[in-house]
C-alpha cells in the first residue's frame, strides 16, 4: 500500500478552556484509522514539566506526528524555562521551515495556566478569543458548545467536560472517554 493510500492513525477533538484562574485541556480517547475506530482509550492530553514548570498539551491529528511535536516542544521549553509563548513560537517557526517537520499532520493546544495557545504547522501560534480553543474533527462542535456554556456557573472543567460530551454525541470521530488535565484554580 502506498503512503498516499494509507489513511494513518488519527486522534481527534481537544478543547482548552480558561475560566477564572483555572485552565483545562480535555481530549477524547478515540484513535481512528480511516473510518475504523482502532482504540477508544488513548491519552491525547499530556502534562509536561520541563525545568519544573507545568505545561499541559493536547494534540489532534496523526499520533506519531503529534508525539514528534511534543518532544520538540518539550526541548524548546527546556531551552526557555517558564516561557511558553517563546517556546511555542520557536516550535512553530521550526515546524514551518524544517522539511521533515513540514510533513507532520497534527495540531497542538498548550497552556501553562496563564497562556493558552493553538500551534499549527502553518506557523501559527494562536491565542484564542473568548478563552476557548478546540481542534480536531469534533473541535468545532466542542468550541460551539463551550462558547454557549462559558457564561454559566460551570467552572472550566465542567465546561470542557460538557462540551466534549456534546461533540462526542455529534462527531463520529470523537468519543466520551476523556483525559482531563487542569492547571490553576
Active site residues: 12
Question: Closest Cα to residue 26, out of 179, 133, 135?
Answer: 179
Contacts of 5 (CB under 8 A, 6+ apart): none
Question: If DSSP codes are grouped into helix, strand and coil, which group holds residue 123?
Answer: coil
- Across 81-101, b (16+ Cβ under 10 Å) vs e yields eebbeebbbbbbebbeeeeeb
Residue 139, CB-side half-sphere exposure with 13 Å CA sphere: 20
Residue 112: how many other CB atoms lie within 10 Å: 22
- Report the alpha-carbon distance of residue 32 to residue 21 in Å, rounded: 34
Strand 179-184 relative to strand 22-27, pairing: antiparallel
| Phi, psi dihedrals of residue 59, rounded to the nearest 5° | -130, 150
Amino acid at each position: 500500500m502506498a503512503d498516499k493510500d494509507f489513511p494513518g492513525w488519527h486522534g481527534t477533538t481537544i478543547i482548552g478552556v480558561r475560566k477564572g484562574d483555572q485552565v483545562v485541556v480535555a481530549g477524547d480517547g478515540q484513535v481512528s484509522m480511516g473510518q475504523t475506530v482502532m482504540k477508544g482509550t488513548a491519552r491525547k492530553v499530556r502534562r509536561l514539566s520541563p525545568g519544573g514548570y507545568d505545561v499541559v498539551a493536547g494534540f489532534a491529528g496523526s499520533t506519531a506526528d503529534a508525539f514528534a511535536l511534543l518532544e520538540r516542544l518539550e526541548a524548546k521549553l527546556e531551552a526557555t524555562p517558564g516561557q511558553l509563548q517563546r517556546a511555542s513560537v520557536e516550535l512553530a517557526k521550526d515546524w514551518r521551515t524544517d522539511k521533515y517537520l513540514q510533513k507532520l499532520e497534527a495540531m497542538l493546544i498548550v497552556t501553562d495556566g496563564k497562556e493558552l495557545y493553538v500551534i499549527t504547522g502553518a506557523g501559527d501560534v494562536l491565542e484564542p478569543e473568548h478563552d476557548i480553543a478546540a481542534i480536531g474533527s469534533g473541535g468545532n462542535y466542542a468550541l460551539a458548545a463551550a462558547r454557549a456554556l462559558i457564561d454559566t456557573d460551570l467552572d472550566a472543567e465542567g465546561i470542557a467536560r460538557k462540551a466534549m460530551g456534546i461533540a462526542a454525541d455529534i462527531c463520529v470521530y470523537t468519543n466520551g472517554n476523556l483525559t482531563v488535565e487542569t492547571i490553576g484554580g
